[in-house]
Amino acid sequence: MYIYASNNDKIFKISAQNGKIVWQRKVNGNVHRHTVIADSQAVYYTTLKGEFGSLKLKNGTVNWKVNIEEGIITPPTVINGSLLIIGDSSIYVVDKKEGLIYQKIPTGHSPYSAATIFRNRVFLGAGEPPINGLLFCFEFNQGVNNNLEISQDFYVGNTLNSKKL
């Protein structure tokens, strides 16, 4: 069993049995505000310099990496065969095996919160000016490969009096 962690500009694989570092990988930008995410295939990360990528579980070598224009503040979220990356005032839906961006949904803001998944919906909240209290909700296609993961979306304004709420 292993623990994957990040600090400054490095990602670590640590043995849960003895606490020893198995490998470490330097990435472009700080990952210390983010949680790295691992599944049975890879470790996924985002950085404050706008890089997101995938590392091999065994040795930490790079599977793929992508840079976008704006820094990324939230960790990636795994949905089916995809990653949700929130940055550049958009949500990017990315093939997690190849790193190909196949959907970009403008949000007008890059929230600080990680995405929350409930049933077939993704919720994303924003809490800093100018978008105090904004809530995004996206419905995604379950079990669909090579197609758009997110099929419809809505958001409510930054007051509880919003008619959309």
Per-residue 3-state assignment (H helix, E strand, C coil) for 87-103 = ECCEEEEEECCCCCEEE
What residue ranges do the domains of the chain occupy? 2-156
pTM given for the model: 0.80
Instruction: Give me the pLDDT at residue 52, please.
Output: 95
Residue in this structure with the two tokens 């793929």, named with its chain if needed = 64
Decide yes or no: CATH 3.30.420.40 for domain 2-156. no
Lowest mean pLDDT among 7-11, 42-46, 147-151, 154-158: 154-158
pLDDT surpassing 70 at residue 58: yes
141 touches 153 (CB < 8 A): no
- Identify which has the larger pLDDT, 98 or 112: 98
In contact, 65 and 51? CB cutoff 8 Å: yes
Strand order, beta sheet including 21-26: 2-7, 10-15, 21-26
pLDDT higher than 50, residue 111: yes
Q: Quick check: bond before 106 cis, omega within 30?
A: no
**pLDDT of residue 142 exceeding 90:** no
